[in-house]
Structure 1
Amino acid sequence: MSSPDISTNPLSELLAKKGVLLADGATGTNLFAMGLESGEAPELWNEDAPEKIVKLHQDFVDAGSDIILTNSFGGTRHRLKLHHAQDRAFALNKRAAEIARQVADNAGRPVIVAGSVGPTGELLVPLGALTYEDAVDAFVEQIEGLKAGGADVAWIETMSAPDEIRAAAEAAAKCGMPYTYTGSFDTAGKTMMGLHPKDIHNVTNEMEQAPLAVGANCGVGASDILASLLDMKEANPDGTIIVKGNCGIPEFRGSEIHYSGTPPLMAEYVRLAMDAGATIIGGCCGTSCDHLRAMREAIDTHQKTEKPSLDDIREKIGPLRNKTAGDGTEAPKRERRGRRRA
């Protein structure tokens, strides 16, 4: 299996060909529907129930996704240690990429395998005990596994701390992998560690290898991620920007989380994202294949128009759940999220 070529990588080539790419939907939401138990590590299914991971990827491809993310979000040794699987990090990530690679190669059209790299769950020094060097080392272990399994790109996602983004990006560079990264702007319009959407482009400025794309994922809702997109695009009009927003607003019904987004709403989110300048658009928590099919049709049929305003977003998608990053008002309290994107 050939190693990805950073200078002529498949992601950039497909983006140049198609203009706008559809990423996939929710990993956790869909695996829970297949029987994953709360607190169970999805990464263990790469070895214990690979047929379910094949089905997840195949369903996304059948719904029209151009990019599928490997089942490896919690694939660092730090996350896997919670399940006594820290010594299996390389193998589990390799298997995750192999499964996605198999589905992509059988798709009959170009499909990008993005190696999902989520946060370690640890705080870096001085706020916590994890050193920058140890974080890089853990991400190298994970990304080497993803590369060995055939991933096209390291897809660093749901990040909050700039230092952790840099550590993962440095690991990707050490592994000879192209990379993207996204932050989760879920706290008063910024990440939990205070990163502003307009500053997302600058996190890896001092690194020799630049990202292929940057952006936002997860967060609190479709309206909010579109507001973040406006800030990101204004800060760098020429940047290649990813948005992978949650399917509407999360709502607790008893002990379960449900998402308010319908397929028509997610199609409207896609149209607004295209108008605002995003070129890689997908869904995060709550996004099913029904949503993705509507999103695929929106990408294929929408003619880009003028950039939307916040009022346009509120009118078509609904109110912002958070304040925007530049707003001085108090933000509503958000629910405490679990260990991973759902």
Structure 2
Amino acid sequence: MKRTLEQRLKEGTVIVGEGYLFELERRGYLQAGSFVPEVALENPEALKQTYRDFMNAGSDVILAFTYNGHREKLRIIGKEDLLEPLNRSAIRLAKEVAKEHPTEEALVAGNISNTNIFDPNNPASKEEVRSIFAEMVKWCKEEGVDYIVGETFYYHEEALIALEEIQKQGLPAVITLALFAENILRDGYTADESCKILSEKGALVVGLNCFRGPDTMHSYLVDIRKNVDGYVGALPLPYRTTEENPTFFNLPDAGCNCTLPTETTFPTALDPLYHNRFELAEWAKEAKEIGINYIGLCCGASPAMLREVAEAVGVETINSKFSPNMEKHFLFGNDETLKKHNTEYRTKA
């Protein structure tokens, strides 16, 4: 029988592949801007392959791709009638792929996220948010997910509502927050204050995801780890965010020589601003060393990046057989059968 999330956390680091939103946009199956996961209905094989690629790269979890698949987003694009079919399809596809794992069936997580309508000064908005979460969590329960991820919350109270609705269905909860450039949640809580409360109220894992790369997320993870007794998760972006630009929303590209369709590089011109996979691996080692238990990557991540992260914390993945090995490269290799007139030319190449 496959182990639960809690069992896996007790036994070691859990690797979590996210980033489907940007990955499927890159693959041509999702529209940047609206970012609604209609792919679960329109191109199910493309979604299954993306699930599969991240699982083979080391993810212990297939996160059902329902990020932005909530009532408010579908209202904006005029397709509320797709709401329930989209959510159920994303979960069912995830369950199909999870069974393909050759050694232990992958966990399947349901997914709820920031609604973008939460207003701390508007009680009606809070009830609407609760209703959005309640119906999605109910479908997750009926479809038999192993646990639910509530993610990318920039209001503490919205995260708390998400936790409450997950608990009503009796499912384990992973709750991760996202920090804008102000470095606190928009209702005034620090990340570690919010995570401590969420953990004490019963979230199995708390932590941070999205908005920030490792360089501008890590110090907050240190604070969370110091103040939370339970499991802590971290899923940064793979972008080189800086102290001056701590999120990916306003990252500049000094080398850009074209007119961008938006005010900033976000979301479709971030390509030159990636960390390489080895930098991400170094961060993953640091995260494990400070006691982060649930490690992954968020928007922008590729399977190759996730594989490097997994291997950095000691996990051999299904596709580790394809990990880089330059031994036999015609210029940079050291294999004795290579032609010396090529390998000696490497410094001039």
1:221 aligns with 2:213: yes
Q: Secondary structure at the match of 1:265?
A: helix
Which is greater in Rg?
A: 2
Provide the C-alpha distance between the structure 1 equivalents of 2:55 and 2:218, rounded to a whole number of angstroms.
25
Is the contact between residue 9 and residue 152 of structure 1 (CA under 8 Å) also seen in structure 2?
A: no
Alpha-carbon distance, 1:111 to partner:
1.5
Mapping 1:102-141, distance limit 5 Å:
102-108=96-102, 109-126=104-121, 128=122, 130-141=124-135
CA 1:213–1:138: 2 relative to 1, 3 Å:
same
Provide the C-alpha distance between the structure 1 equivalents of 2:92 and 2:151, rounded to a whole number of angstroms.
20
Is the contact between residue 113 and residue 152 of structure 1 (CA under 8 Å) also seen in structure 2?
A: yes
Alpha-carbon distance, 1:158 to partner:
0.5
Q: What CA RMSD, in Å, does the superposition of the two structures yield over aligned residues?
A: 2.2
Aligned match of 1:246:
237
Alpha-carbon distance, 1:87 to partner:
3.5
Aligned residue among 11, 14, 34 for 1:21? 14
Aligned match of 2:314:
300
Provide the C-alpha distance between the structure 1 equivalents of 2:293 and 2:153, rounded to a whole number of angstroms.
20
Aligned residue among 169, 173, 178 for 2:172? 178
CA 1:205–1:65: 2 relative to 1, 3 Å:
closer
Aligned residue among 212, 217, 239 for 2:204? 212
Is the contact between residue 23 and residue 281 of structure 1 (CA under 8 Å) also seen in structure 2?
A: yes
- Range with bigger deviation, 288-297 or 190-199: 190-199
Cα deviation, 1:79-106, whole Å, max 9, x if unaligned, reads: 2111222243222111111111111122
- Range with bigger deviation, 249-258 or 292-301: 249-258
CA 1:130–1:222: 2 relative to 1, 3 Å:
farther
1:289 aligns with 2:283: no
**% identity of equivalent residues:** 25
Provide the C-alpha distance between the structure 1 equivalents of 2:139 and 2:167, rounded to a whole number of angstroms.
14
Aligned amino acid, residue 65 of structure 1: S
Is the contact between residue 217 and residue 284 of structure 1 (CA under 8 Å) also seen in structure 2?
A: yes
Cα deviation, 1:253-298, whole Å, max 9, x if unaligned, reads: 5531224210100100100100111010000122111111111110
Provide the C-alpha distance between the structure 2 equivalents of 1:194 and 1:79, rounded to a whole number of angstroms.
26
Cα deviation, 1:206-229, whole Å, max 9, x if unaligned, reads: 85xx11110000132211211111
Aligned match of 1:329:
none
TM-score (norm 2): 0.77
Is the contact between residue 29 and residue 286 of structure 1 (CA under 8 Å) also seen in structure 2?
A: yes
Q: Secondary structure at the match of 1:23?
A: strand
Q: Secondary structure at the match of 1:186?
A: coil
Cα deviation, 1:289-332, whole Å, max 9, x if unaligned, reads: 11111111101179xxxxxxxxxxxxxxxxxxxxxxxxxxxxxx
- Range with bigger deviation, 289-298 or 81-90: 81-90
CA 1:130–1:87: 2 relative to 1, 3 Å:
farther
Is the contact between residue 96 and residue 146 of structure 1 (CA under 8 Å) also seen in structure 2?
A: no
Aligned match of 1:74:
68
Provide the C-alpha distance between the structure 1 equivalents of 2:83 and 2:145, rounded to a whole number of angstroms.
15
Is the contact between residue 118 and residue 126 of structure 2 (CA under 8 Å) also seen in structure 1?
A: no
Alpha-carbon distance, 1:178 to partner:
1.6
Alpha-carbon distance, 1:167 to partner:
1.3
Unaligned runs of 5+ in 1: 1-7, 303-342
- Range with bigger deviation, 268-277 or 117-126: 117-126
Aligned match of 1:199:
193
Provide the C-alpha distance between the structure 1 equivalents of 2:46 and 2:96, rounded to a whole number of angstroms.
13
1:33 aligns with 2:26: yes
Aligned match of 1:268:
282
Unaligned runs of 5+ in 2: 241-247, 261-268, 317-349
Is the contact between residue 90 and residue 144 of structure 1 (CA under 8 Å) also seen in structure 2?
A: no
Q: Secondary structure at the match of 2:17?
A: coil
Aligned amino acid, residue 24 of structure 2: L
Q: Secondary structure at the match of 1:131?
A: helix
Provide the C-alpha distance between the structure 2 equivalents of 1:216 and 1:204, rounded to a whole number of angstroms.
12
